Amino acid sequence: MTGRLFLLWMLAVTAGLGACATPPAETAAAVPVPEAQDPRTALIASVPNGSLIFRLKGEHDIQHVQSGMACPLARMAEADRLIRLFVFPNPRDGDDVACDYAFFGGKLTAYATRNTGLTAEAVVGATADFIRGAHPEATPAALDLPAADGLPKITGAVFNIVLDGKPARTKVLVAIKDGWVIKVRATYPTDPAAPAEPLLADLGASLWILPVLQSMPPSARTVLLTD
């Protein structure tokens, strides 16, 4: 199943298809970027102590210094776009961050949080409780969990919800790697009149966590900011 999902993911990328703290709102607002400025620089400058917590990586990525998690400006051509960074309140700056994307008419957020002894199942359970609290109409849906050699076990949950009066889906995937909780949360419309896009959003959201985990070096657990 994972091999088939990966193939469809790659087809979506090459085709250029359009469009753990408390999660931000389920709709996304972009950080303004001046013309001619590298958008990554503006995104990093938009958060407190951004230059200590994030850095440029290659030509297209922003890397979280402490965990090594890399957030590309886009992963699926026009289907997604990095629009803002988050640094959540924490005794040590950089121990709880997120990269927020516009994603298939909704949003996707990738979180890196220094682990304090939680299991992936506990994080998924807490997020599921949050979703059910925010959406009493939420109903569980089937979920294909991705996996890859050399990566930690991934667990998750997915719910069908109603967002702004329309059908939508919200999904959470979690893994623990090198002392970090990595969580991907995606929420996107599921318009029955356009079934192809929700299918691609489902695949993209399920597979997104794999390159996030692959971007993290084994030594990430040793990177700390000085007080």
CATH number, residue 76: 3.40.1000.10
pTM of the full structure: 0.81
Is residue 226 a part of any domain in this protein? no
Q: Please give the Cα distance from 47 to 220 (Å, whole number).
A: 21
What is the full per-residue pLDDT of the chain (227 aa) written as tens digits?
444 444 334 433 333 322 255 445 555 556 665 555 789 999 999 999 999 999 999 999 999 999 999 999 998 877 899 999 999 998 888 999 999 999 999 999 999 999 999 999 999 999 999 999 999 999 999 998 999 999 999 999 999 999 999 999 999 999 999 999 999 999 999 988 777 888 999 999 999 999 999 999 875 444 444 33
Is residue 192 a part of any domain in this protein? yes
Is residue 147 a part of any domain in this protein? yes
- Which residue segment(s) compose the domain that 92 sits in? 2-221
Domains held by the chain: number: 1
CA nearest neighbour of 203 among 61, 110, 71, 104: 104
Partners of residue 98 on adjacent β-strands: 86, 111
Is residue 227 a part of any domain in this protein? no
Burial annotation 131-163 (CB, 10 A radius, 16+ → b, else e): beeebeebeeeebeebeeeebeebbbbbbebeb
